[in-house]
Structure 1
């Protein structure tokens, strides 16, 4: 795999200023209108679908976020494709082997059910790749794997890089802050995308028009 390729797929099952400032009060900003046209939801992995453990290499450490399985099952029932778009620089740093990453991601699927696409960037921040968020490569690759345009996808994550990657790709985006999300990232997401207090609220903002 090229260190400068588009979206890396290593780790798929097949192979200062911190805050939590009343995120639930966040409102959509200038994001694309919710409702018709949404075909897929692409989730960040760590601190979005599962609790973050830095450079997680042991499948036993996978702990899903409350409500994640229920939300994913609802999306599956509605025919909405789901995917994961995740930076995993621990591979480039030698802190996680590709095999260990694949085992962790397989455990995620065991606990949360199958995903329609996994797009993982194994590169470091200095590698100059086009896939590491906030670059759009993971999102565009996920959309392509699903046979969709990015505009039909919603990106959900806990930091500004997730939102930036989604918007740069032409997708919709929602930030679900955690205690480690920077205040500036929340404020920026309120202006450019949307902020929600939970995964269910994040997706609900964009599914309301599909009922």
Structure 2
């Protein structure tokens, strides 16, 4: 089974432009390429998991997500990064488009997208991580059985804590988050090797 890092899209991997479906407005966040390269070199699968309520609200059509996904993949490829998966939730219970105006298991803070990816891609969740810029991302990761890192960039405004949304670490950016993950996995490996040698 593989380890993965699940990555929120807007405000984490790319700059947050609310309800954006214009590929030309997509810009990678600071340190994203270097962070993902580090994680990729350590053998982590890289998987985007993103709420896209703009589809349910009628701000853009679901098919308009395809050029967005292609653009994200292109920007990452230019930096030598291969994205292993891209999952998005088009639902919102208060949406205006009937087919998407539902309560679902895939909308973060619920873990449906992560669980689906784990099943489809043979991901071992206890050795995987979630990185996001709000507590809903953290909660989705924790509920899925991952460890989670919150990027404290000012995008979380509510700060309502519960039993599931406490991050393992808080970081300023993607690169810092990636280094925390690598440090954790290295320390765990060293502990395991020390145990075996006894």
Establish whether TM, by shorter chain, passes 0.5.
yes
Q: After TM superposition, give the deviation of residue 186 of structure 1 in Å.
A: 8.5
Match among 159, 162, 180 for residue 134 of structure 2: 159
Q: Distance in 2 between matches of 1:43 and 1:91?
A: 20
Q: CA RMSD in A?
A: 2.3
Q: Which residue of 1 aligns with 2:195?
A: none
Structure 1 residue 47 corresponds to structure 2 residue 11: yes
Q: Distance in 2 between matches of 1:193 and 1:179?
A: 18
Scaled by the length of structure 1, what TM-score is found?
0.75
Q: Which residue of 1 aligns with 2:48?
A: 84
Q: Which residue of 1 aligns with 2:172?
A: 197
Q: Distance in 2 between matches of 1:136 and 1:172?
A: 13
Give per-residue Cα distances to partners, 1:57-88, cap 9 Å, x unaligned.
11000011011012112222222110000000
Q: Distance in 2 between matches of 1:42 and 1:155?
A: 5
Q: Which residue of 1 aligns with 2:193?
A: none
Relative to its length, the structure with more helix (as a share) is 2
Larger radius of gyration: 2
Relative to structure 1, the CA distance from residue 125 to residue 44 in structure 2 (aligned partners, 3 Å threshold; closer, same or farther) is: farther
Q: Which residue of 1 aligns with 2:33?
A: 69
Q: Distance in 2 between matches of 1:146 and 1:48?
A: 22
Q: Is the 8 A contact 2:147 2:167 kept in 1?
A: no
Q: Distance in 1 between matches of 2:148 and 2:88?
A: 18
Q: Which has the higher contact order (CA 8 A, sep 6+)?
A: 1
Give structure 1 stretches of 5+ with no counterpart: 1-36
Following superposition, which runs of at least 4 residues in structure 1 exceed 3 angstroms of deviation? 185-192
Match among 102, 108, 111 for residue 72 of structure 2: 108
Match among 83, 92, 95 for residue 124 of structure 1: 92
Matches within 5 A, 1:132-143: 132-143=107-118
Scaled by the length of structure 2, what TM-score is found?
0.80
Q: Distance in 2 between matches of 1:61 and 1:163?
A: 26
Q: Distance in 1 between matches of 2:179 and 2:162?
A: 20
Q: After TM superposition, give the deviation of residue 101 of structure 1 in Å.
A: 1.0
Q: After TM superposition, give the deviation of residue 205 of structure 1 in Å.
A: 1.7
